[in-house]
Structure 1
Amino acid sequence: MPKDSLDDLNSRLKAFAQTRNWEQFHNPKNLTMAMIAECAELVEHFQWLTPEQSMNLTQEKHDEVTLEMADILIYLIRCAERLDIDLIGAVERKIAINEARYPVEKVFGDARRASEYED
C-alpha cells in the first residue's frame, strides 16, 4: 500500500473520530483492546476450518473476513497515529530485521522460530 494511501486513510479516520468527539476514547489502551477484540472475531471465522477450507472461503465468508480485517486495520492506523508511529517505516524496519534473523540459506522451507535454529 502506498504511503499516501495510508496517510489518506489516517486523515479520514481521524476526521471521522473528531467529528463525533471520539478522540477522547481513542487512546492507545482502548484502541489496542478494540483491535484484539477484532482479531478474535477474525480468528472465529477460521477456527474449525481445515487449511484447505481457509483458502477457499464462500463469498459470504470472504466478505465477513474482509470487514473484520478492515476493522483491525482501522484500529491499527488510529493507534499508530495516536503514538506518532510511521507504520510504513516500522514495517520496512521489521522486514530488514526478519531478513537478518531468517537468512534464506538457513530457513528455506522451515517455519521454526528464530531461537530454534542452531547457529
Structure 2
Amino acid sequence: MTVDRLQQLVAEFAARREWERFHTPKNLVMALTGEVGELSELFQWLTAEESSAICADAGRRERVEEEMADVFIYLLRLADVLGVDLGAAVEAKVRKNEERYPAEVVKGLAVKYTELGRP
C-alpha cells in the first residue's frame, strides 16, 4: 500500500467521524508525541538484547505493532493536514544525509555530522 493510499485511508477514517476540526497541526503533533511515548514505554527498561528480541513474544509484538501503527497514523495525518509529501520529504532528507554522512567517512561510526568537522 502506498503512502498516498494510507493517507487517504486515515483521512477517510477521520472524515466519517467528523474529526477534521480536531486535527490541527498542534493537536496532531501532541498526539504523535504521546504515541511515541507509549512506544518508548514498551522498551524503557529492556537491555539491548531484550529490545532486539521483543517481537519474539507474540503479545509484545502485537503491542509494538499497534504503537508503531499509532505513531505512523498520526504522522500520516499530520503530513496530509500540512500538505507535506512524505515520500518526497524522505527522499530529500536521505539525499541530504548522504552528503552529511558519506559512507567512506562514517562507516561503523555513530557520530553526528557536526562531530566530523563538516557543515
The one-letter code sitting in structure 1 at the alignment partner of 2:69 is A
The one-letter code sitting in structure 2 at the alignment partner of 1:11 is Q
State whether structure 2 residue 58 is matched by structure 1 residue 83: no
Query: Which deviations, in whole Å up to 9, do the C-alpha atoms of 1:17-74 show, x marking residues without a partner?
Result: 1111100000110001000000000000101101111111121111101000000000
Q: Which runs of 5+ in 2 are unaligned?
A: none
The one-letter code sitting in structure 2 at the alignment partner of 1:13 is V
State the TM-score, normalized to the length of structure 1: 0.94
Which deviates the most, 78-87 or 4-13? 4-13
SS at match of 2:80: helix
**Matched residues in 2 for 1:93 and 1:69: separation?**
23
**Matched residues in 2 for 1:16 and 1:97: separation?**
34
Aligned to 2:94: 95
SS at match of 1:78: helix
Aligned to 1:53: 50
**Matched residues in 1 for 2:53 and 2:106: separation?**
28
SS at match of 1:49: coil
- Cα RMSD (Å): 1.0
User: Once superposed, which parts of structure 1, at least 4 consecutive aligned residues long, lie more than 6 Å away?
Assistant: none
**Matched residues in 2 for 1:17 and 1:66: separation?**
21
The one-letter code sitting in structure 1 at the alignment partner of 2:95 is A
State whether structure 2 residue 20 is matched by structure 1 residue 26: no
State whether structure 2 residue 10 is matched by structure 1 residue 13: yes
The one-letter code sitting in structure 2 at the alignment partner of 1:42 is L
Q: Which runs of 5+ in 1 are unaligned?
A: none
**Matched residues in 1 for 2:97 and 2:5: separation?**
28
State whether structure 2 residue 110 is matched by structure 1 residue 111: yes
**Matched residues in 2 for 1:7 and 1:104: separation?**
31
